[in-house]
Amino acid sequence: MTADYLLLTPGPLTTTATVKAAMQHDYSTWDHDYNAITQGLRRDLLTLANVPASDYAAVLLQGSGSYAVEGTIQTAVPANGTLMIAINGAYGRRMSEICDYLHLAHVDVVFDETTPVTLPRVAEVLAQHPEVTHFAMIHCETTTGILNPIETVIPAMKAHGLTTIVDAMSSFAGVPIAPATLGIDYLISSANKCLQGVPGFAFVIARRAAIAQTKGNARSLSLDLFAQLTTMDAHAGKWRFTSPTHVVLAAAQAMAELFAEGGVPARNARYTANQQHLTTGMAALGFEQIVDAAWQSPIITSFAFPSADFDFDAFYQTMKAHGFVLYPGKVSQCASFRIGTIGDVHDADITRLLAAIAAVGKPVVATASA
């Protein structure tokens, strides 16, 4: 049996024993009780987003978060549309790659990975491209852990008449977001992120007026969000194709635990406290945080290698032996690694982690580089 580690990653992440236990039941995808669980999840997602069911709908989609991102782009943007993408990391670049696969016109506004998306730059490029019909950006770009200012950018894009898409994969349910207030037409996330479920499905919280106009846009049968929503609405939570039943049960339990914790504000407070404890402790151990604190999310933090001869693989394996799984870095301009602070992770866990790094981190580096 594989040992349990504390996953200090941005998802999959460490789940509670009760979420794991919820998967120990078998359901038929046609069963009315199971479909009722799906409907309950859809209602609860709208509650988390603080949006009315009359204006928004939650569409669940089999697969990872990237499936929902691709599903949203190829459903929301028609063949004659143009998508502007604000990019400051790997997940913005993935949106651009999706557009290339779809042969969809797109305008990329590229920022440095360690700086946030800014409205003046986006507005400047938009003024040069009147053909743009849709706009997309990442909220928490987990390449670095930066939190982009959707609060300023999205309303401005909506004021220009654009359909707006926000990849909130790593932030929804862990960072407060107000889709209706900001003018978000499509908000995308996944069961295995701040909801604290397990991998297997993603979801899109879509403005009904926007998605109602997308019939026939999809280039994929399986990733057609319009068709998925139509089926779920018409058949009381029935998925079009075989759904991840056990994962749905885990998500329903995770949702109940989120509400019991105190909802998004309480979860955000715990994650924020974890992250602040982590960065303070890591700084004392000589590890520098890459992203400026003003833009740092509570989700995941990037740290620069402390020296040129730092051996991350040795460090990783040593920390794993002590029960902690870290995350490799993705910042292209410097050598780094990342530590997540979401999931069933608490202050005492951060204390244990820092103690383990203090005890073995430096010796591992010295030994590996000798």
Q: What are the beta bridge partners of residue 257?
A: none
**β-pair partners for 207:** 56
Provide the pLDDT for residue 366.
Answer: 46
Contact criterion met (CB below 8 Å) for 240 and 228: yes
Quote the CA–CA distance of 289 and 286 in Å, as a whole number: 10
Question: What's the rounded Cα separation, in Å, for the pair 296 and 144?
Answer: 9
pLDDT at 4: 83
The pLDDT score that the predictor gives to residue 173 is 98
Please give the Cα distance from 116 to 110 (Å, whole number).
10
Q: How far apart are CA 119 and CA 206, in angstroms?
A: 23
Q: How many CB atoms lie within 10 A of CB 28?
A: 10
Q: In angstroms, rounded to a whole number, what is the distance separating the alpha carbons of residues 104 and 187? A: 20
Compute the C-alpha angle 198/345/298, nearest 5°.
Answer: 95
**Tokens in use for 336?**
């780094």
Q: Which helix (H) or strand (E) holds 36?
A: helix 32-49
- Residue written as tokens 């999310």? 297
Of 263, 249, 364, residue with least CA distance to 314: 364
Closest listed residue to residue 185, CA positions, set 163, 170, 155, 156? 163
* CA–CA separation, 189 and 65 (whole Å): 6
Kindly tell me the sign of the dihedral angle through the C-alpha atoms of 26, 30, 31, 37: positive
Q: Mean pLDDT of residues grouped by 10 in the chain (370 residues)?
A: 81 96 95 96 98 98 97 98 97 98 98 97 98 98 96 98 98 98 98 98 98 97 98 96 97 98 98 98 95 96 93 94 91 90 98 94 49
CATH 3.40.640.10 region(s) of the chain? 18-259
Q: Residue 240 carries which DSSP code?
A: S
All CATH 3.90.1150.10 domain ranges in the chain, comma separated = 6-10+263-369
Which DSSP string do the residues of 105-125 spell out, in sequence order? EEEEEE--TTS---HHHHHHH
Contact 61, 71 (CB under 8 A): yes
* CATH of span 6-10+263-369: 3.90.1150.10
Just give the CATH number of 18-259. 3.40.640.10
User: Could you tell me the two tokens for 183?
Assistant: 């003018």
Per DSSP, the chain holds a count of helices (H) and strands (E) of 14, 14
Gap between the Cα atoms of 211 and 227, Å rounded: 10
